[in-house]
């Protein structure tokens, strides 16, 4: 049946001829042109330095909240080259491991001279700026996926004081955050220098400025630990400090009995009483196990321990480290001796795991001199540690580490001295660029090398020196 409005047969044929001719002309001209353009595009993409990866990067950008770490050609990532695009056949090679780089430093010791050196004006109240202290190491810290600092003392507010009862301006927390630190370890033998109120305010200041605070808590309903997720890897964070001997019924810190209730706000252990030490270590291991049950895939443990000014770990440090290694704790970072001590890799007794142990990483910021406690300069030396963590085939493990030697240069400024943390190896090469004395930084490097001789890790968990 024809539609009622169909045109006469002659007109229909003429119309059909016209519609057939137009597409033929378009096909004959448009298709070759489109094909030519496509060939040109393919040749351009193929000849580019990144090839198809450049194109795909526009189609599949990195998530904005996913930080990346550039480690150059360091031992932590020896195959990478900054700025070099790498391509691979993802159908034939295994999936790349997830990787996290942790950075940690030792004690921030706010001696009175350090406090005075940070004053920038005013007397009532005075103003402080400690950012200059970190200017030369900020690139190292800020490049990390997660950076830890041990804060030894309190942020109790004015009047400020150094040794023996530390209370520093809040501005030091601002400077640490600006440098790139995001975890503050607060369990140490000076945590109660200003009593429970000082411990609580220190926690609150760091927390309110954006830090994860580990090792202390403001009340028994809060937690002193953390689980952080970095690039998909869940890391359990703990921090414990040694106690002094105390009594069977009263714990003490720095020889001073703890105030009532303080032991519930500070994670600590007593190395001097064997019965208490067994109980305390059992509690620490149970604490780590609880974090694992809550999802932690590995444990990073800060330990404030050891004997001051001894450049070799004590037998009690080594015994505790082995017990913790047997419990499967993967990473131990120590401080308190105010000098460097060796680095070791321990194996669990059953061979199931390895533990990387930094027995002491020294003081990052301080006012100690060559002659402090007859330390012959060793109290002036420290290191930044950089630890590589990877998940391979479902297992998370520490796979390598670097240490960066540091030294504190003191520069006359105003009424006192400005304290500048410098990476030793670059400062030896160009002391003027780091406002440093070439002889002093060279002597620091020689001392550090003597302490860490033999601290090379193992074949599957290497430990190496780095410049920055």
pLDDT average, residue stretch 427-439:
97
Q: CA-CA distance, 80 to 82, in Å (whole number)?
A: 7
Q: Percentage of the chain with pLDDT > 70?
A: 79
Q: Return the closest-CA partner of residue 108 out of 144, 55, 155, 69.
A: 155
Nearest partner of 359 among 381, 343, 382, 337, judged by Cα: 343
Any idea of the CA torsion for 433, 436, 438, 444, to the nearest 10 degrees?
-120
Instruction: Kindly report the average pLDDT of the chain as a whole number.
Output: 85
Burial 305-333 (b: 16+ CB within 10 A, else e): bbbebbbebbeebbebbbbbbbbbbbbbb
Average pLDDT over residues 98-113: 97
What percent of the chain shows pLDDT beyond 90?
76
Residue 22's pLDDT band, with cuts at 50, 70 and 90, is: very low
Is the pLDDT score of 58 beyond 60?
no
Give the pLDDT band (50/70/90) at residue 68. Answer: very low
69 pLDDT higher than 70: no
The mean per-residue pLDDT over the stretch 212-230 comes to 98
Question: Mean pLDDT throughout 75-94?
Answer: 40
More confident residue, 28 or 13: 28
Q: Residue 334 and residue 434: Cα distance in Å, rounded? A: 28
Give the pLDDT score at 349.
95
d(CA 296, CA 290): 9
Q: What's the pLDDT at 51? A: 45
In this structure, the strands spanning 212-214 and 343-347 are unpaired
Q: Which residue has the higher pLDDT, 156 or 21?
A: 156
Half-sphere exposure of 291 (CA within 13 A, CB side): 26
Average pLDDT on 12-25 reads 38
Residues ≥6 apart with Cβ < 8 Å to 464: 75, 400, 401, 402, 403, 456, 457
Question: Cα dihedral sign for 185, 189, 190, 196?
Answer: positive
Residue 266 has pLDDT above 60, yes or no: yes
**Whether the predicted pLDDT of 193 surpasses 80:** yes
Q: What angle do CA 262, 265, 266 make, to 5 degrees?
A: 90
**What pLDDT band is residue 123 in, cutting at 50, 70 and 90?**
confident
The number of angstroms, rounded, from the C-alpha of 85 to the middle of its chain's C-alpha atoms is 26
Q: Average pLDDT of 367-392?
A: 96
Which CATH architecture describes the domain 98-465? 4-Layer Sandwich (3.60)
pLDDT at 74 over 80: no
Query: What is the spatial distance between Cα 29 and Cα 24, in angstroms, rounded to a whole number?
Result: 9
Whose CA is closest to 195, among 150, 151, 259? Answer: 259
Closest CA to 298 of 288, 310, 312, 284: 288
How high is the pLDDT of residue 255? Answer: 94
Please give the pLDDT value at position 9. 39
How far is the C-alpha of 344 from the C-alpha of 356, rounded, in Å?
6
The pLDDT tens digits for 158-170 are 999 999 999 999 9
pTM of the entire structure? 0.81
pLDDT tier for residue 194 given thresholds of 50, 70 and 90? very high
What pLDDT is recorded for position 84? Answer: 35
**Residue 156: predicted pLDDT:** 97
Q: What is the 3-state secondary structure (H, E, C) of the chain?
A: CCCCCCCCHHHHHHHHHHHHHHHHHHHHHHHHHHHHHHHHHHHHHHHCCCCHHHHHHHHCCCCCCCCCCCCCCCCCCCCCCCCCCCCCCCCCCCCCCEEEEEEEEEEEECCHHHHHHCEEECCCCCEECCHHHHCCCHHHHHCCCEEEEEEECCCCCCCCECCCCCECCCHHHHHHHHHCCCEEECCCCCCCCCHHHHHHHHHHHHHHCCCEEECECCCCCCCCCEEEEECCEEEEEEEEEECECCCCCCCEECCEECCCCHHHCECEECCCCHHHHHHHHHHHHHHHHHHHHCCCCEEEEEEECCCCCCCCCCHHHHHHHHHHHHCCCCEEEEECCCCECCEEEEECCCCCCEEEEECCEEEEECCCCCCHHHCCCHHHEEEEEEEEEEEECCEEEEEEEEEEEEEEEEEEECCEEEEEEEEHHHHHHCHHHHCCCHHHHHHHHHHHHHHHCCCCECCCCEEEECCC
Place of tokens 């780590």: 288
Asked if 400 and 463 count as a contact pair (C-beta separation under 8 A), the reply is yes
If you average pLDDT over residues 190-207, what whole number do you get? 98
Is the dihedral angle over the CA atoms 106, 107, 108, 112 positive or is it negative?
negative
CA distance 336 to 215: 15
pLDDT computed for residue 5 by the predictor: 41
Question: What's the pLDDT score for residue 289?
Answer: 98
For residue 64, what pLDDT is reported? Answer: 34
**Is the model's pLDDT at 38 over the cut of 80?**
no
Helix-helix angle 315-326:274-293, to 10 degrees: 30
Res 210: pLDDT:
97
User: 266, 216 in Cβ contact below 8 A?
Assistant: yes
pLDDT for residue 65 is more than 80: no
Instruction: Please give the residue that has the higher pLDDT: either 403 or 89.
Output: 403
Tokens of 387: 């630890």
């Amino acid at each position: 049946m024809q539609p009622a409005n169909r045109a006469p047969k002659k007109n229909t044929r003429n119309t059909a001829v016209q519609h057939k001719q137009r597409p033929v002309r378009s096909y004959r001209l448009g298709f070759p042109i489109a094909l030519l353009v496509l060939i040109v595009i393919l040749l351009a993409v193929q000849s580019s330095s990144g090839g198809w990866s450049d194109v795909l990067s526009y189609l599949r950008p990195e998530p904005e909240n996913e930080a990346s770490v550039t480690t150059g050609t360091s031992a932590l990532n020896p195959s990478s080259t900054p700025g070099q695009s790498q391509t691979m056949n993802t159908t034939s090679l295994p999936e790349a491991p997830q990787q996290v780089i942790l950075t940690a430093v030792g004690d921030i010791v706010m001696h009175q001279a350090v406090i005075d050196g940070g004053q920038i004006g005013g007397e009532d109240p005075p103003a402080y700026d400690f950012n200059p202290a970190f200017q030369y190491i900020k690139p190292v810290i800020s490049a990390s996926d997660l950076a830890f600092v041990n804060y030894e003392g309190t942020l109790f507010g004015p009047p400020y004081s150094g040794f023996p009862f530390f209370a520093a301006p809040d501005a030091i927390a601002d400077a640490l955050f600006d440098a790139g630190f995001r975890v503050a370890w607060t369990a140490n033998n000076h945590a109660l220098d200003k009593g429970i109120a000082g411990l609580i305010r220190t926690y609150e200041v760091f927390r309110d400025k954006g830090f994860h605070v580990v090792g202390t808590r403001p009340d028994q309903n809060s937690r002193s630990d953390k689980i952080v997720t970095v690039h998909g890897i869940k890391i359990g964070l703990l921090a414990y400090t040694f106690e002094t001997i105390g009594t069977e019924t009263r714990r003490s810190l720095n020889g001073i009995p703890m105030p009532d209730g303080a032991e519930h706000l500070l994670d600590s252990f007593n190395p001097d009483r064997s019965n208490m030490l067994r109980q305390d270590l059992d509690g620490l291991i149970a604490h780590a196990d609880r974090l694992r049950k809550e999802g932690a895939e590995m444990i990073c443990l800060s330990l404030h321990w050891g004997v001051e000014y001894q450049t070799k770990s004590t037998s009690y440090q080594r015994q505790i480290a082995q017990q913790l290694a047997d419990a499967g704790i993967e990473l131990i970072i120590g401080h308190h001796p105010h000098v460097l001590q060796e680095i070791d890799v321990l194996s669990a007794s059953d061979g199931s795991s390895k533990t990387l142990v930094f027995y002491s990483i020294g003081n990052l910021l301080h006012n100690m001199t060559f002659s402090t406690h007859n330390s012959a300069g060793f109290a002036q030396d420290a290191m930044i540690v950089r630890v590589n963590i990877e998940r391979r085939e479902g297992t998370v493990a520490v796979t390598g580490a670097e240490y960066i030697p540091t030294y504190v240069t003191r520069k006359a400024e105003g009424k006192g001295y400005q304290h500048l943390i410098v990476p030793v190896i670059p400062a030896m090469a160009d002391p003027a660029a780091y406002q440093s004395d070439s002889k002093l930084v060279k002597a620091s490097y020689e001392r550090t090398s003597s302490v860490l001789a033999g601290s090379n890790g193992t074949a599957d968990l290497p430990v190496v020196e780095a410049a920055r």
